[in-house]
Amino acid sequence: MPLPMAAIYTLPGGGTPWIVVADNLHDIVGFTFSPQAGFTEGFRAHEENWQLHGAPMVMPDAETFVSEDSATIVWRGQAIKKPQRTTIFPNYVAGMSRTAAGDTLLVTGTLLWTRHPGGEPEDHRMPGETVAAPAVSPKHVFVSTAGSLLTYDAATLQQVAKFDWTKGGISPPAIGPYGDVYAIANNTLHVFPGICANCPDVPPLDNMPTLTVAPTTPAATGQSHFENPQGPHGLRLYACTQVGGDDCGKPVAKAFCQAQGWAKADKYDTKSKKVQAETLSGEACDKNKCKVFDFIDCEN
């Protein structure tokens, strides 16, 4: 069964983003989040007879779907006081996605379901089972099944490519910023080149390589400023490599910048304060005052 994840959306009128989670059992909960207050529970729905599956999915108009045994829980906006239970998709749903045109996509066993807004669902038989949500680009839909990675045309849902493997269908594919498709099967990460009309040297869809090297992301230029930088668990970043050690300042700032994708630290400032802090390795500072960074400027 797919593990639960979060859906994040902002209402059409703006405001604080909402985070919606389902626990794969009987509860759907909505939170707001701010750096100052943390998570604040905004709504909760609980039904003992629910058996929820996978992650919620939110449409652009804030209509939200959560898969449940043989049905789908649907509501709109940030309130779930009266959720509807509808049989839009009449089978156990493994994962949900949506296209740029607003169509809803769901997979259940060997079926790929599609539904135009306000229309009736249509099913497409797949040559393999899956419990993973499809990945959707503007032009293509990628589905990981037990025996293959399938590529469909997003507008027609006609199959345009099939890459055979074993032990897939457990985790969803992902699409990178340059159109590259990442998919896992049998403990192997497969990386396929981006598929787009203007990308040079892209192989045909029916000749995708088994494994390729992802293109290198262009190096960032300029400088980035980090105010009150944090350690791995969200505490203020301790300015020394070890609590009580004397290897402080520059080496830690440089290591922090490199972890953010920058080459080196340009400027930084440290002060001893009565705050909770931790080193880059996660060691907590247990002193009355901890030496922390007030800011770090990183550059290439």
Which tops the pLDDT comparison, 264 or 71? 264
Q: What percentage of the chain reaches a pLDDT higher than 70?
A: 78
| Most confidently predicted of 22-26, 229-233, 234-238 | 234-238
CA distances from 241 to 65, 212, 214, 245, 251 (A): 46, 37, 33, 7, 8
> At residue 195, does pLDDT exceed 60?
no
> At residue 171, does pLDDT exceed 70?
yes
Q: How confident is the model at residue 209, as a pLDDT?
A: 40
- Measured in residues, the chain has a length of 300
Q: How confident is the model at residue 191, as a pLDDT?
A: 87
Instruction: Indicate the CATH number for domain 1-87.
Output: 2.20.25
> At residue 2, does pLDDT exceed 70?
no
Range with the poorest average pLDDT among 75-79, 182-186, 197-201, 287-291: 197-201
Which among 250, 248, 235 has a CA at the least distance from the CA of 285? 235
Q: Work out the pLDDT band at 25, boundaries 50, 70, 90.
A: confident
Instruction: Indicate the CATH number for domain 90-218.
Output: 2.130.10.10
Q: Are 54 and 94 in contact (CB under 8 A)?
A: yes
Q: How confident is the model at residue 211, as a pLDDT?
A: 40
Q: How confident is the model at residue 1, as a pLDDT?
A: 54
Which among 168, 159, 123, 124 has a CA at the least distance from the CA of 140? 159
Residues of the chain with CATH 2.20.25: 1-87
Structure tokens belonging to residue 254? 């440089």
Q: Are 162 and 195 in contact (CB under 8 A)?
A: no
Cα–Cα dist 143/62, whole Å = 25
Q: How confident is the model at residue 201, as a pLDDT?
A: 47
Q: How confident is the model at residue 253, as a pLDDT?
A: 93
Range with the poorest average pLDDT among 23-32, 112-121, 167-176, 234-243: 112-121
> At residue 207, does pLDDT exceed 50?
no
Mean pLDDT of the chain: 78
> At residue 83, does pLDDT exceed 60?
no
Is the pTM of the predicted complex or chain greater than 0.75? no
In this prediction, residues 130-154 reach a mean pLDDT of 88
DSSP assignment of 105-141: EEEEEEEEEEE-TTS--EEEEEEEEE-S--EE-SSEE
> At residue 12, does pLDDT exceed 70?
no
Which tops the pLDDT comparison, 299 or 84? 299
Q: Work out the pLDDT band at 246, boundaries 50, 70, 90.
A: confident
Task: Give the pLDDT confidence of 63-80 residue by residue, as tens digits.
Answer: 787 777 767 777 766 556
> At residue 140, does pLDDT exceed 50?
yes
HSE on the CB side for 257, CA within 13 Å? Answer: 25
In this prediction, residues 202-212 reach a mean pLDDT of 42
Residues of the chain with CATH 2.130.10.10: 90-218
> At residue 189, does pLDDT exceed 80?
yes
Say if strands 236-237 and 18-22 run parallel, antiparallel, or are unpaired: unpaired
Cα–Cα dist 196/31, whole Å = 37
In this prediction, residues 167-193 reach a mean pLDDT of 86
